[in-house]
Structure 1
Amino acid sequence: MSEPMLEGTGCSMHEPYALQVLGPDMEPEFPDKCVVIIEPTEQCRSGMYVFAEVEGVRWFRQYRRNADGREWLLPLDERFPSIELTGLDWKVLGVIIQRNIRRSIKHYEYLDAGEPASAPQTAIDAVDITRENA
């Protein structure tokens, strides 16, 4: 007898969860093998770091929307491709709220501002709470 598939209806599906970054796409801010904490949500604003699904493939990128309403998922390492979302089937699965690199913890608090894609990355206020001096 097979187990029934879990649907996204339980309260645990709404709790933050951790994933390990695999690859250099989001370096230097999120190096390969660091751990990120994701707050499940389908809402995001320009400048947020997001975990998203595009055409059935999951991506960790920075979401950007310009003044004309065009949207992208951008890597921080320019050697990797940007994903223009126009005409694609996509959704946000969550936003990154914390990064952990060998016990060095940084929180991401997103300010209430919707800058266009060409604006400086001021929509994010990162707080380093490293316990190296403890």
Structure 2
Amino acid sequence: MYNVVLGIDEDEEHARAAAGEVANLPGDGSEVKVTLVHVFQDNPSGASATQVASVREAQKVLEEAGCEIDISESSGDPADEIIAVGDEVDADLLVVGGRKRSPAGKALFGSVTQTVILNGGRPVMVTGVVDAE
């Protein structure tokens, strides 16, 4: 079994694209276990990750490919949580989405992708580049 951890934010289009890249990994989808990680930044209503549209979209794409799916939710720093889940499941691959940012934006807001790449301790796939607003 090939273990993948896929970080999912609120962007449904990006979630579908990232899940599609995981579904397109070599081999049969039934040999891939994917843990979808959604980190809540603000969740006053107490929603679960399965209620987040982008998580449902990624789950649908991966299930259609025959992948086994687990869903992990937490709050805190997204990069730290993705890395922690990767350690917990002994992931073979961490998958995160890239975003275009200005140099000032990178300095002020940091980068989940950059942190996962530098601190993840395992292979990282960066999917697509979505313009930051």
TM-score tier by shorter-chain length is: under 0.3
TM-score normalised according to structure 1 size = 0.24
Q: Radius of gyration: which is bigger?
A: 1
TM-score normalised according to structure 2 size = 0.24
Looking at secondary structure, tell me which structure has more strand per residue: 1
